[in-house]
Amino acid sequence: MSIEAGKHRPPEHTGQVLVLRDVVRVHGSGDAEVRALDGLTISIAAGEFVAVMGPSGSGKSTLLHLAGGLDTPTSGTVRVEGTDVGALSVSGRAALRRRHIGYVFQDFNLIPTLTAAENVALPRELDGTGRKAARTEAMAALAELEVQDLADRFPDEMSGGQQQRTAIARAIIGKRRLLLADEPTGALDSHTGEAVLEVLRGRADAGSAVVLVTHDARFAAWADRVIFLRDGTVIDTAGVDSAEELLAHSR
């Protein structure tokens, strides 16, 4: 199986959604200094589904934090939809996330005191959309993930897979084109995991840029492109046959 091409049709390039250039992120200083990312350059276009793989501590989560504006690079630039994230204020980055970025984590994605619909509507409401309008949008997003029936349930009344679908629904509400998922299948069984992947694939096909962090090569196989990280840099994948081989090699 080639890792160059995904199973599905090739991406339609409608512009670069996420661009990282020479990004360095250093934690701590002196002896305790950790270079979580070390000169990373990546660009991801709309409609593209990219999987990020690498051993633990290689900087995958850091990459997503930077892409999502939760963190800023020590040096280099991160652009989302053409905006330099590092130049924005904290509130500016929050607004960017509200409007353009969807986040899905491994678990505990939902605010326990809000219902599914309220969780999904949250970014819209924070952005000033009216309650009714936000709920309509949230219902549409939930329907897209086929969990509209759970709209008024609280997170602790849902299964793990249902929670992840709801989280994805929240990540795609509005006019977002960047979906960042950090091991969204990590807490799910493989069957449910496949279903989540299908949804992500669907989003990419619909024109979003999707970045998926995963340890599982089977899931990475859904992607158009796989980026391998080690010690904060992209590994050259030329001459490597399969993702399994690469992972084994890097461990």
Partner 1 sequence: MNRLRILLLLAWRDAVRHKGRSLLIVALVALPVLVIGAADVLLRSQQGTPEISVRGQLAGSSAYLWAPLGAASTDQSPADTWAGQFVAVDKSARPAATATFEGGPGDPAMVDVGQTPLRSASEVLALLPAGSSVTPWDHGNTPISADGIRYRMADADLLDLASPAAGDRYRVTAGTAAAGPDQLTLTPALAAELGVAVGDTISVGAPARDYRLVGLVEATVHGSTPVKAVVGQANAVAGVAQWNGPRYLVASPVPIGWDLVQQLNAVGIQVYSRAVALDPPFVPEQPYDSGAAIGLAAAVILVVLGLTQVVFLSGPAFAIAARKMRRQLGLAAATGAAPKHIAGVVLGSGVLLGVIGSMLGTAIGALIGVWIQHPLTKWTGIDFPGVTVRFGELALIAGIGAVTSVLAAAWPAVTALRTDPIAALARRAKPPKRPGMISLLGLVLAGVGVIVVVWAASRSIPAEITGMARSDVTGQRSLWIGAGLVAIQLGLVVGTPQLIALFARLGRVLPTTPRMALRSTARHRGRSTGAVATILVASTGAVLAAVLIHTMNAQQETEYRPALRTGIVTGTSYSTAPDGAVTADGRDRAERAVDGLVERLWPGAPSAVANRLAVVGHQSEEVVPTEAADYRCPWYSPANGSSYVDRDITVPDAGESAAAATDIRCAGMSFSALTPEQGHIAVSNGQSSMPSIVVGDATYRRLLTGVDDPAADSALTAGKVVVLDRHYFDKGKFSISTMEWPNNADKPTYHPAGSAPAVLGRWALSPVIAIVPPAALASLNAMAGAPGFVVETASATRAEAESLSATGEAAGLSLSVYVETGLPPWTSEFPSVWLILWIAVALIIGVVLVVTALGVVDADDDSATYAAVGASANLRRTLSGWSALTTTGVGCLLGAASGLLVSWGIYRLLQNLNGGEVGMLVPWPQLAILVIALPAVAFGLAALFTRSKIQLIRRAE
Ligand X SMILES: Nc1ncnc2c1ncn2[C@@H]1O[C@H](COP(=O)(O)OP(=O)(O)OP(=O)(O)O)[C@@H](O)[C@H]1O
Q: Interface with partner 1 by CB under 8 A: which residues?
A: 65, 68, 70-71, 90-91, 94-99, 101, 103, 105, 108-114, 118, 122-123, 125-131, 134, 154-156, 163, 170
The contact mask relative to ligand X for 60-99 (x = CB under 6 A, - = no) is xxx-------------------------------------
Amino acid identity at 165:
R
Stretches 16-24, 58-66, 125-133, 241-249: which one binds Mg ion (CB under 5 A)?
58-66
Q: Nearest approach, Cβ of 203 to Mg ion (angstroms)?
A: 21
Q: Which residues of 32-65 are buried (b: 16+ CB within 10 A; e: fewer)?
A: eeebbbbebebebbbbbbbbbbbeeebbbbbbbb
When the beta carbons of 29 and 91 are compared against partner 1, the nearer one is 91
Nearest alpha-carbon partner for 76 in 19, 21, 17, 18: 21
Report what 222 binds from Mg ion, ligand X, partner 1, none; CB cut-off 5-8 Å by kind: none
When the beta carbons of 165 and 225 are compared against partner 1, the nearer one is 165
When the beta carbons of 71 and 144 are compared against partner 1, the nearer one is 71
By the rule CB under 6 A, 163 interacts with ligand X: no
Q: What share of the chain is helix, strand, coil (3-state, %, to 5)?
A: 40, 25, 40
Report what 193 binds from Mg ion, ligand X, partner 1, none; CB cut-off 5-8 Å by kind: none
Beta strands (DSSP E) in the chain are 16-27, 34-45, 49-53, 75-80, 83-84, 101-104, 178-182, 209-213, 225-230, 233-234
Q: Nearest approach, Cβ of 56 to Mg ion (angstroms)?
A: 7
Residue 160's Cα: distance from chain center in Å? 18
When the beta carbons of 50 and 121 are compared against partner 1, the nearer one is 121
The contact mask relative to ligand X for 23-62 (x = CB under 6 A, - = no) is ----xx-----x-x-----------------x-xxxxxxx
Report what 59 binds from ligand X, Mg ion, partner 1, none; CB cut-off 5-8 Å by kind: ligand X
From residue 72, give the alpha-carbon distance in Å to each of 91, 120, 208.
13, 26, 23
When the beta carbons of 61 and 185 are compared against Mg ion, the nearer one is 61
10 Å CB burial of residue 152 (0-12, 13-18, 19+) is exposed
Q: Which helix (H) or strand (E) element contains residue 63?
A: helix 60-67
The DSSP output letter for 17 is E
By the rule CB under 5 A, 61 interacts with Mg ion: yes
Binding site for ligand X (CB under 6 A): 27-28, 34, 36, 54, 56-62
